[in-house]
């Protein structure tokens, strides 16, 4: 339907343990198609190259991401060596995330 808005990144915040970056997409009441991701999957499907490199830090492998049941919230599981920190720009790949019902 034409009334569905394209999802956009609304917030990015660390969880209380700082081992996950929680990304929330707007509109929050509209599930996304999760960029085709199922379960725990490589974040390369959704994070842009600069964000992916920072999230990986000195780790050998790219981080893994997991979508929460609401379909509008995604967790980036971070390695201890992550380069992400407060104030860092978080970007998503253009055109990979759509409304679930589209």
pTM for this predicted structure: 0.92
Q: Which of 30, 74, 17 is nearest to 51 (CA)?
A: 74
pLDDT by residue (tens digit) across 5-41? Answer: 889 999 999 999 999 999 999 988 889 999 999 999 9
In the 3-class helix/strand/coil scheme, how is 41-83 assigned residue by residue? EEHHHCECHHHHHHHHCCCCCCCEEEECCCCCEEEEECCCCCC
pLDDT surpasses 60 at 2? no
Cα-based torsion angle of the residue sequence 24, 27, 31, 32 in order, rounded to the nearest 10 degrees: -70
pLDDT tens, residue by residue, 62-79: 999 999 999 999 999 999
Q: pLDDT per residue over 12-21, tens digit each?
A: 999 999 999 9
């Amino acid at each position: 339907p034409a009334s569905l808005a394209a999802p956009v990144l609304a917030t990015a915040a660390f969880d209380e343990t700082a081992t996950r970056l929680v990304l929330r997409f707007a509109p929050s009441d509209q599930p996304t198609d999760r960029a085709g991701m199922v379960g725990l999957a490589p974040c390369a499907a959704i994070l842009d190259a600069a964000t992916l490199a920072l999230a990986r830090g000195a780790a050998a492998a790219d981080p893994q991401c997991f979508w929460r049941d609401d379909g509008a919230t995604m967790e980036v599981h971070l390695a201890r060596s992550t380069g992400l920190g407060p104030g860092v720009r978080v970007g998503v790949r253009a055109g990979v995330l759509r409304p679930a019902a589209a």
